[in-house]
Amino acid sequence: MSILANKNTRVLVQGITGTQASFHSKKSLDYGTKIVAGTTLHKNLDKHIGIPVYSSVADAVKEHEIDASIMFVPAPMVKNAMKEAIEAELKLVVTIANGVPVHDMLEIKSMLKGSKTMMIGPNTPGLITPEEARLGIFPENIHQKGCIGVISRSSTLTYEAVLETNRTGLGQSTVIGLGDDMIVGTDYRGIIKRFMEDTETKALVLIGKTDSLYEQTAAEYYSGLKNKKPIIAFIAGEAMPFSHIMGYAGDIITRGRITVQDKKKMLQNVGMTVVDNITQIHEVLNELDLVP
């Protein structure tokens, strides 16, 4: 199975006429993603790459049933685009742009509270359910349908984690990049919950990094679960010392008191298997003796 998106998910592309949006929308369509509409500021445009185009999300939802949005808009425009999606009560929005202003993200987080919308990103490769749906910019050729969920705060290392699951022959149920920016729309908890509820996901791979406190919340959430699926975790950035000059938000907030080693201990203490090298993930998965 999958979480968040599958072959039946009806997708809107916000900013569909942009160069990157056009390129990746075509690839997603070829992959089987059910893109039903797009939006653009060019109000006189009826269709683009064969997809009906509207001037706003509100206009699009009047004509189509839409479950999710993939957002290809510049960082300064993300706040307004998110406002449109939230007001239209879309269930899921995947935001690709990086460098969304922190103040805008704080406002977006406020808008998301109590809404029906989940935001993935910003600064994310998106999510992919192998052989079913691609919402973002993932290189679709490296993914294999299977039973391992992948959730990551590092875009590049997400691909490495995918290759590690491929080495075991277990493949992926759904792969999700939470986003690399300092503030993201969704943390690990909501995604872990969905993977735990998915009957065909047998285990999870979690990729963390130095620049946040999200791993701490993941550990706290996982510790409270009664029926736990295995999680193999890797935390990137162990060789990086604390430095306020680097601007890592988590380090600045804690003055370096929560290190990568601390995060690894937190995850180990709640029952996750923590590897020191990402290439060890396939070894741990093999030891679990999972059946695809």
Would you place residue 247 in the very low, low, confident or very high pLDDT band (cuts 50, 70, 90)? very low
> Domain residue spans in the chain?
1-123, 144-292
The share of the chain scoring above pLDDT 90, in percent, equals 84
246-270: average pLDDT: 71
Name the amino acid, one letter, at 223. S
Helices (H), the chain: 19-31, 57-63, 78-87, 102-112, 155-168, 188-197, 214-223, 249-254, 260-269, 281-288
Same fold, 1-123 and 144-292: yes
pLDDT of residue 1: 61
Whole-angstrom CA distances from 239 to 87, 242, 259, 260, 261 are 43, 10, 10, 9, 10
Specify whether the CB–CB gap between 130 and 145 falls below 8 A: yes
CA 6 – CA 190 distance, rounded (Å):
18
Spell out the CATH class of 144-292: alpha beta
CA 162 – CA 103 distance, rounded (Å):
33
pLDDT tens digit sequence for 68-121: 999 999 999 999 999 999 999 999 999 999 999 999 999 999 999 999 999 999
> Taking the model in full, what pTM does it have?
0.93
Q: Which helix (H) or strand (E) holds 109?
A: helix 102-112
Torsion sign (Cα): 252, 254, 257, 259: negative
What is the second-level CATH architecture of the domain 1-123? 3-Layer(aba) Sandwich (3.40)
- Lookup: tokens for 22: 């056009």
Would you place residue 240 in the very low, low, confident or very high pLDDT band (cuts 50, 70, 90)? low
Distance of CA 45 to the CA centre of its chain: 31
